[in-house]
Structure 1
Amino acid sequence: MTQLRALSAIRLSVRTDETTSPGRQRAANSNEAARRGAVIVGEAEDLDVSATKTTPFNRPELGAWLQRPDDFDVIIWWRMDRAVRSMADMAELGRWAKTHGKLLVFAEGPGGTPMDLDMRTVSPVSELIMTLLAFSAQMESTAIRERVTGAQSALRSQGRYSGGLVPYGYGKVANPDGPGWKLAPDAGAVKVLSGIIRDVLDGQSLTAVAMALNEDNVPVPRDYQAIKAGRDPGGTRRGRQIERFKWTAGTLSKVLRSPALMGYRLHQGKPVRDRDGNPVPIGDPVLSQDEFDALQDHLATLTPQKNRTRKATQAMLLGVAKCRGCGGNLYLSKRAGGADYNCRATARGDRCPSPAGIRADWLEKYVEEEIMARVGDLQMTKAITRKGYDPAPELREVMEELRALYADKGARRSRTGRMIWQEEVDTLERRAEVLEATPRTEARTEVVPTGETYASFWVRHDTVGRRQLLLDTDARVTVAKGRSGGGAERLTGPDRARMVFTISANEHPHAMASTQ
């Protein structure tokens, strides 16, 4: 008799560093194969894969094996729920096994004894057993889902931690009001977040901030939580070292756009609401509502074009220095012993009637003296926009959540499920009533002093910061071609008659936009 070739199938919905289930499943499958005199020719291990959300055919490893039915004779699972959790999936798997003449084996069937579903021959009994077991698995899955949903809903409504990924910026702490855990701001993560938000609002791109975090070996949110829990953030899988994750613009965008920064408890990316429809708090927020709104307004201005990484220019007067001959920018050119600002009209396909050129150190010194003399003692200001409040966006979110709930009503078949559904609907209805009665308020802007003069700002910033100040104040220095006709390197000193400096801060002090 030909020896049976067995495929050992292993599945686990959620895997952690403490998980031992894959090993138990592998041992049970191996023992069952040995008991039958079968040889295991392969293994389909699908970890972090839900049987409720995936069929056997679209799981990464098992799906690939099912496309090669000639490579094995029998599939062995530990239990039925490792294979399927719905009647539809069991029926599809049964049709496949019947078409290809396969034996389906569960090392621990009802009562703990092995069970066969022999689809190699037409067997109404096997099909009936398969259908009944699939029905049982589906009912168990539904009951588990409703129990978990009810328990998590109750925990969230009490402000308690109900499990899952901890939002970046927070950590688990013992619940001071009773059993279980709550979430609270984590000092280390909040410090990193504060630096990220500061850099982003100062104009750095998300990509540039991500690169700086990686250079400083700052762990990403997932790794940070692992380190806090005392686990190796890298680890291994099947003997292979897993590379640690790095910060990306996408990771930063996800963190910075999360309402969890305002201390809102989230479920599937949306705020969890109390019985009155208000967001359930985690604890003290990392950002206030106004600070979060200001951050979102800034992020909304970033486009892929604006957000790509560029090396910061060391030309302090790029965009500030202009050629009187053609009106174009003067560009910094390095040369032996120094650098010059020169007209480059020919590089852009134009002809300048009188191209200007001047030593960079002379021109930058001239601009610094002019800005100090004209506005150095003036105090800088910032425009603060007091954001109004429009209930319409949140009302639209509540409407969408209500629509989703109404569409889900038919899926709540148990009395407990229908009760939970009604509580969720009532909560959103109450919040909708409050929002509908809340008037819209308009935003207002006021200009206030920053407490810093132009001179002190100039001293404490580098070339990049000084250039940004000049651009923000609409400063311009226009340079004419030297009367000697020579290049910048032939000049014996800064000829001030060649340069005209203008700055809008004479009438309008520099305003740095800020939103609160």
Structure 2
Amino acid sequence: MTNQLRALSAIRLSVRTDETTSPSRQRAANSNEAARRGAVIVGEAEDLDVSATKTTPFNRPELGAWLARPDDFDMIIWWRMDRAVRSMADMAELGRWAKDHGKLLVFAEGPGGSPLELDMRTVSPVSELIMMMLAFSAQMEALAIKERVTGAQAALRTQGRYSGGLAPYGYEKIKNPDGEGFKLAPDPEAVKVLSGIIRDVLDGQSLTAVAMALNEDGVPVPRDYQAIKAGREPGGTRRGHKIERFRWTAGTLSKVLRSSALMGYRIHQGKPVRDRDGNPVLIGEPVLTREEFSVLQDHLSTLTPQKNRTRKDTQAVLLGVAKCRGCGGNLYLSKRAGGSDYNCRATARGDRCPSPAGIRADWLEKYVEEELLARIGGMQMTKVITHKGYDPTPELREVEEELRALYADKESRKSRTGRMIWQEEVDALERRAEALEATPRTEVRTEVVETGETYASFWARHDAAGRRQLLLDAGARVTVAKGRSGGGAERLNGPDPARLAFTIGMHADPYAAALEAVEEEERASRFA
């Protein structure tokens, strides 16, 4: 009695949305073929969103891992030849591997729809000939499909129509109001998520912190959001019998926030699609204006790994505000039995303070609150609004990069049609560059406007972190001198006014002071 053959079911899909070659259809065909042969399926290699023209069987995530352990199965079953390879070179490599390891390659639907097997367990010139003939056919089909799809999609893109594929995050497919086919338009639900992300990033949160919050709230990543909207299962990485869903990362956020699609540009292979005059082809209504996008990019470009890491917050209202008069360093909040104090920690940072200050936290915080509200409590708070104006330089730089890439690509256009398309793309970019070079730059303009809220009302409705930020924004500072020995009078009557001095609006960079204060607190806490 012969042993039952062990089969590996291989599934591949270039585009997850392609229903004609869906994983379920391939899985069913492979299972039926295994049953017909009396084989048992011992595993499945499912590679989704993986192109056979761009990857060999050996560098696909799941199939490659199975091919590295050939002793675990006797045959591989695919639905059709094009699920396995689309080039003669890849088929030759797969055939050599199958011959070396004595494997049976099976296709549930061969030419004419009947099953086809390539038995590489024994030397068979006929099997090798059939294998290469079919691989040649698959390669020719792939080239024909590529030419048809490339031409059709290029035409659709230059018309502003949706050409298929994953829509940029923040947009959804709608019926084209101007004619046939579909277009893209802002997706209200995704735009709401995007607006929250951009607000948090511009408010100073790190990309890592924003990503963690999105994951905690169960917000799906862009590709999963599209799948859910289309009624499909979201993706993930298979770990044995468990699927781990994709998660937001700082890299994912950066890719979304840096895409020109936010300005409504149609993007292809990472670059804006342009019309015959070189103007960016628009998807539809933009999520961000050019000015808003520029502000976001300027902010993202300032982020560094050090600035972008998540910091532990503190409940010290006066961190970065309270200073020791003896050495000029920050005072830090220290807990003690029955309360807390602000103390100089010069020794923790390797310095020596000639007159280290220390004072009860409730006394100092009350003093600062009274001084702040007495001086500016009734005043209206203001904010600075920056109008970016218009600078054609960023887009001109983009056009320049695209032109450089196109000129470098000229020799690869072998056909007359390819050279014609190349010339049209170059002419369009040249016209756009000429227009941008003639566009004057308008200067940045700022204005100060009242928020409609007083400092006193803002102070009353905020917690320690909000109050500390208000003090820093206002440039507030309080210096504390060392108290007298014993301190009996202070215990009875409160702090000596001569020890305290409050100033406001005299410090140019409160944000730098706040960052320095947090860093010093972190260093000092290791020695406290």
Shorter chain as denominator, the TM-score bin is: 0.7 to 0.9
Q: Which amino acid aligns with 2:277?
A: D
Q: Does 1:133 align with 2:134?
A: yes
SS in 1 for 2:166: coil
Q: Give me the whole-angstrom Cα distance separating, in 2, the residues matched to 1:190 and 1:424.
A: 32
Q: How far 1:290 sits from its partner (Å)?
A: 0.8
Deviations 1:55-95 (A, max 9, x none): 12222343344344556555443322122111221222233
Q: Does 1:353 align with 2:354?
A: yes
Deviations 1:299-344 (A, max 9, x none): 2222221121223221111111112222221111223443221222
Specify every segment of 5 or more residues in structure 1 that has no aligned partner in the other structure, as ranges.
Answer: 512-516
| 2:475–2:510 Cα contact (<8 Å) kept | no
Q: Which amino acid aligns with 1:340?
A: D
Q: How far 1:289 sits from its partner (Å)?
A: 0.9
Q: How far 1:257 sits from its partner (Å)?
A: 2.0
Q: What's the counterpart of residue 446 of structure 2? A: 446
Q: Give me the whole-angstrom Cα distance separating, in 1, the residues matched to 2:27 and 2:214.
A: 41
Q: What's the counterpart of residue 467 of structure 2? A: 466
Q: What's the counterpart of residue 190 of structure 1? A: 191
Q: What's the counterpart of residue 109 of structure 2? A: 108
Deviations 1:399-443 (A, max 9, x none): 43344445555655666555544443433333233334445x364
| 2:107–2:117 Cα contact (<8 Å) kept | yes
Q: What's the counterpart of residue 514 of structure 2? A: none
Q: Give me the whole-angstrom Cα distance separating, in 1, the residues matched to 2:232 and 2:58.
A: 34
Q: Give me the whole-angstrom Cα distance separating, in 2, the residues matched to 1:115 and 1:232.
A: 32
Q: What's the counterpart of residue 286 of structure 2? A: 285
Q: Which amino acid aligns with 2:432?
A: R
Q: Which amino acid aligns with 2:306?
A: Q
Q: How far 1:117 sits from its partner (Å)?
A: 4.2
Count of aligned positions: 508
Q: What's the counterpart of residue 334 of structure 2? A: 333
Q: What's the counterpart of residue 364 of structure 1? A: 365
Q: Which amino acid aligns with 2:80?
A: R
Q: Which amino acid aligns with 2:11?
A: R
Q: Give me the whole-angstrom Cα distance separating, in 1, the residues matched to 2:26 and 2:216.
A: 42
Q: Does 1:322 align with 2:323?
A: yes
Specify every segment of 5 or more residues in structure 2 that has no aligned partner in the other structure, as ranges.
Answer: 512-528
| 1:104–1:117 Cα contact (<8 Å) kept | yes
Q: Which amino acid aligns with 2:305?
A: P
Q: How far 1:385 sits from its partner (Å)?
A: 4.4
| 2:236–2:246 Cα contact (<8 Å) kept | no
TM-score (norm 1): 0.85
The residue correspondences of 1:41-52 to structure 2 (distance < 5 A) are 42-48=42-48, 49-52=50-53
| 2:8–2:73 Cα contact (<8 Å) kept | no
Q: What's the counterpart of residue 522 of structure 2? A: none
Q: What's the counterpart of residue 248 of structure 1? A: 249
Q: How far 1:477 sits from its partner (Å)?
A: 0.9
Deviations 1:367-417 (A, max 9, x none): 122223333344555445443655444334334334444555565566655
Q: What's the counterpart of residue 63 of structure 1? A: 64
Q: Does 1:394 align with 2:395?
A: yes
Q: What's the counterpart of residue 148 of structure 2? A: 147
Q: What's the counterpart of residue 90 of structure 2? A: 89
Q: Which amino acid aligns with 1:356?
A: A
Q: How far 1:114 sits from its partner (Å)?
A: 4.0
Q: Give me the whole-angstrom Cα distance separating, in 2, the residues matched to 1:508 and 1:128.
A: 79
The residue correspondences of 1:4-15 to structure 2 (distance < 5 A) are 5=5, 7-13=7-13, 14-15=15-16
| 2:331–2:343 Cα contact (<8 Å) kept | yes
Q: Give me the whole-angstrom Cα distance separating, in 2, the residues matched to 1:18 and 1:352.
A: 73
Q: Give me the whole-angstrom Cα distance separating, in 1, the residues matched to 2:217 and 2:239.
A: 30
Q: How far 1:500 sits from its partner (Å)?
A: 0.9
Q: How far 1:121 sits from its partner (Å)?
A: 5.7
SS in 2 for 1:165: coil
Q: What's the counterpart of residue 276 of structure 1? A: 277
| 1:235–1:241 Cα contact (<8 Å) kept | no
| 1:156–1:265 Cα contact (<8 Å) kept | yes
Deviations 1:224-279 (A, max 9, x none): 33443345547997995534444433333232222222112222232222221111
| 1:357–1:488 Cα contact (<8 Å) kept | no
SS in 1 for 2:310: coil
| 2:490–2:496 Cα contact (<8 Å) kept | no
| 2:475–2:508 Cα contact (<8 Å) kept | no
Q: What's the counterpart of residue 158 of structure 2? A: 157
Q: What's the counterpart of residue 514 of structure 1? A: none
Deviations 1:7-32 (A, max 9, x none): 44523223359677444444544555
- Give the root-mean-square deviation of aligned CA atoms: 3.6
SS in 2 for 1:283: coil
> Residues 415 and 7 from structure 1, CA distance in 2 versus in 1: closer, same or farther, beyond 3 angstroms?
farther
SS in 1 for 2:200: helix
Q: Give me the whole-angstrom Cα distance separating, in 1, the residues matched to 2:393 and 2:126.
A: 60
Q: Does 1:206 align with 2:200?
A: no
Q: Give me the whole-angstrom Cα distance separating, in 2, the residues matched to 1:327 and 1:318.
A: 13
| 2:385–2:449 Cα contact (<8 Å) kept | no
> Residues 103 and 464 from structure 1, CA distance in 2 versus in 1: closer, same or farther, beyond 3 angstroms?
closer
> Residues 76 and 487 from structure 1, CA distance in 2 versus in 1: closer, same or farther, beyond 3 angstroms?
farther
| 1:91–1:131 Cα contact (<8 Å) kept | yes
Q: Which amino acid aligns with 2:60?
A: R
Q: Give me the whole-angstrom Cα distance separating, in 2, the residues matched to 1:414 and 1:424.
A: 15
> Residues 226 and 77 from structure 1, CA distance in 2 versus in 1: closer, same or farther, beyond 3 angstroms?
closer
SS in 2 for 1:139: helix
Range 416-425 or range 201-210, more displaced: 416-425
Q: Give me the whole-angstrom Cα distance separating, in 2, the residues matched to 1:212 and 1:197.
A: 13
Q: What's the counterpart of residue 261 of structure 1? A: 262
Range 467-476 or range 321-330, more displaced: 467-476
Q: Give me the whole-angstrom Cα distance separating, in 1, the residues matched to 2:428 and 2:176.
A: 24
SS in 2 for 1:429: helix
Q: What's the counterpart of residue 475 of structure 1? A: 476
> Residues 489 and 161 from structure 1, CA distance in 2 versus in 1: closer, same or farther, beyond 3 angstroms?
farther
SS in 2 for 1:242: strand
Q: Which amino acid aligns with 1:326?
A: C
Q: How far 1:295 sits from its partner (Å)?
A: 1.4
